[in-house]
Amino acid sequence: MGQVLCCIQVDQSNVAMTEKFGRFNDVLEPGCHCLPWIFGYKVAGNLSLRVQKLDVRCETKTKDNVFVTVIASVQYRAILEKAMDAFYKLSNTREQIQAYVFDVIRSSVPKMNLDDFFEQKNDVARAVEEEFEKVMTNYGFEIVQTLIVDIEPVETVKRAMNEINAAARMRVATNDKAEAEKILQIKRAEGEAEAKYLSGLGIARQRQAIVDGLRDSVLAFSDNVPGTTAREVMDMVLVTQYFDTMKDIGASSKSSAVFIPHGPGAVRDVAEQIRNGLLQAQAL
């Protein structure tokens, strides 16, 4: 009905290209327009002014010879003032943009190592955007934004990178565990040293108490029994301790201690050997 009345409608965010007898005539903006087709006017086509997105997958190689698949997202739109160039100069806009993305990525990525590429992917995106701005403006398009949305190394490289990361974390964990065991052993050694020190103090005090008790016993016995010597008193004390020890051994059914020789007369021999050993030590 609109064509019969020579009226056409252009939707919002679109423009229409009109021709007169096959030659470009005008750009019609959104709204209703009168287009007398009987005088050779016609609509050649519509051009969207909305922002469009194109995802490009590009396979390339890094400086350290790792093949990666780069996924770039290009957001672009037609410029209203250059709508005629955008409509007539390019036959396939998306393929043209894709070709420029391939060219920029394949000339930029081979200059970087894989790790550097992950860190500097924004620099690659800016390089793509700057190259588009210089070229696509002549064709009536502007680049809104370019993003490197994903970097996909080959599967074997992914596994190798994961294994390297896992090995590094395992090395850190092993070092931490070794440090913890080292601290534990140091603390255990310090505790054992302190325990032995305290045990030695206890044994020394015990022996000092025994010596003091024996000295007091000898002095008391000598005072109460005139004519006895300290040696005779010590022999009697040793005999008494010998019988006490034998009594304790006999009272225990599971005792495995045996004195050899174990006769009562052997106590004097033991005491004599001890005294002789002390006297020889003092002589040396």
The Cα–Cα gap between 18 and 35 comes to 9
pLDDT band, residue 1 (cuts 50/70/90)? very low
Burial class of residue 140, CB neighbours in 10 A (0-12, 13-18, 19+): buried
pLDDT band, residue 2 (cuts 50/70/90)? very low
Q: In this predicted model, what pLDDT tens digit does every residue of 185-237 receive, in sequence order?
A: 888 888 888 888 888 888 888 778 777 777 777 777 677 767 666 666 666 66
On the question of pLDDT at 5 being above 50, the answer is: yes
The C-alpha angle with vertex 202 and arms to 208 and 197, in degrees rounded to 5, equals: 125
At residue 258, the 3 state secondary structure works out as: coil
- Chain-centroid distance, C-alpha 13: 50
Q: In this predicted model, what pLDDT tens digit does every residue of 32-49 receive, in sequence order?
A: 888 787 788 888 888 888
Q: In this predicted model, what pLDDT tens digit does every residue of 238-265 receive, in sequence order?
A: 667 766 777 776 676 666 655 555 555 5
Q: In this predicted model, what pLDDT tens digit does every residue of 53-72 receive, in sequence order?
A: 888 888 888 888 888 888 88
At residue 263, the 3 state secondary structure works out as: coil
Q: Which of the residue ranges 79-83, 95-99, 211-215 would you say has the lowest mean pLDDT?
A: 211-215
Q: Are strands 67-78 and 141-153 parallel, antiparallel or unpaired?
A: antiparallel
Average pLDDT, the chain: 79
% of the chain exceeding 90 in pLDDT: 0
